[in-house]
Amino acid sequence: MELYRLFIAVEIENREVYNNILRIRDVFKGINANLKFVEDENIHLTIRFIGEVPQSLIPEIINAMKPASNIESFDMKVEGLGAFPSDVRPRVIWIGVTEGTEKLRSLRNTIEVGLRRLGIRPERQEFSPHITLARVKSGRNIDKISKLILEFKNYVAGVTRVTKVKLKRSILRPQGPLYIDIHEVKLK
């Protein structure tokens, strides 16, 4: 039985906003910190990480996503750098969402209902909409990372329309993950 590592995501549909996200990510490349950057083609906002499930469950997951087609398309403002667990002890560097968060939550909750029916457990941590830019691999130049996060706390990448949600497969590789689109649901 082959297991598929799956997640549900929205992509950045506005090219200018997408380029602004890449631009701010690349600022961190100049500080000689030990960071693993998210590849250009992998930039996304995770709505729900599913994890490893049998391939046979995919049609049912696609079914669980169908109600999302009743949700209206909406705008999402991508703004503000931050880090998990904190700006001073960063492990994950991200850019946040300041408008459209309730719509993203609604989208997630709609899909979550169907996933729970399939026995897929809810995630433990509360949903915090963000786009991961990089992961911190060591403490080298951590002070410079924190300084940049604070400096760009209010950075605005722009407003992008969310018109679809995707089921994606993640194949982990030494050179970084490969994401493959499995299914797409268009919003109203």
Mean pLDDT value across the chain: 96
Q: Domain 3-186 in CATH: superfamily?
A: Cyclic phosphodiesterase (3.90.1140.10)
Q: What backbone phi and psi angles, to 5 degrees, belong to 140? A: -60, 125
Dihedral angle of Cα 96, 20, 73, 154, to the nearest 10 degrees:
30
Q: Which of 11, 33, 38, 44 is catalytic?
A: 44
The residue-averaged pLDDT of 134-150 equals 95
Each residue's pLDDT tens digit, 62-96: 999 999 999 999 999 999 999 999 999 999 999 99
pLDDT at 109 over 90: yes
The residue-averaged pLDDT of 148-175 equals 97
The residue-averaged pLDDT of 25-43 equals 96
Each residue's pLDDT tens digit, 37-48: 999 999 999 999
Query: 130 an active-site residue?
Result: yes
Q: Which of 25, 130, 166, 168 is catalytic?
A: 130
The residue-averaged pLDDT of 161-165 equals 99
Write the CB contacts of 129 (distance below 8 Å, at least 6 apart in sequence): 45, 76, 96, 97, 100, 101, 104, 105
User: Do 47 and 6 meet the contact criterion of CB atoms below 8 Å apart?
Assistant: no
CA 63: distance to chain centroid?
22
